[in-house]
Amino acid sequence: MKKRFPILVGISIVTGIIGSLAVRRKQPPVRNYYEDYVGKWRYQKDRHHPAVIVSVTPDYQVLFQDRPEMVSIVELTPNRLVFLDKMGYHIIFEKCGDNMTFYDETEGHSYPLEFLAE
Cut 0.75: pTM above it: no
pLDDT at site 15: 75
Per-residue confidence band for 89, with pLDDT thresholds at 50, 70 and 90: very high
Is 102:110 a contact under the CB 8 Å cutoff? yes
Is 75:84 a contact under the CB 8 Å cutoff? no
Smallest Cα–Cα separation from 37: which of 59, 57, 20?
57
Three-state SS for 106?
coil
Task: Determine whether domain 33-116 maps to CATH 2.40.128.
Answer: yes
Based on its alpha-carbon atoms, the radius of gyration of the chain, rounded to whole angstroms, reads 24
The model's pLDDT over 18-48, given as tens digits with 9 standing for 90+, comes to: 767 666 665 566 678 888 899 999 999 888 9
Q: Long-range contacts: 91-99, Cβ < 8 Å, 24+? A: 91/62, 93/37, 93/56, 95/36
Higher local confidence (pLDDT), 11 or 48: 48
pLDDT at site 106: 84
Alpha-carbon distance of 115 to 28, in angstroms, equals 29
Q: How many Å is the maximal CA-CA distance in the chain?
A: 87
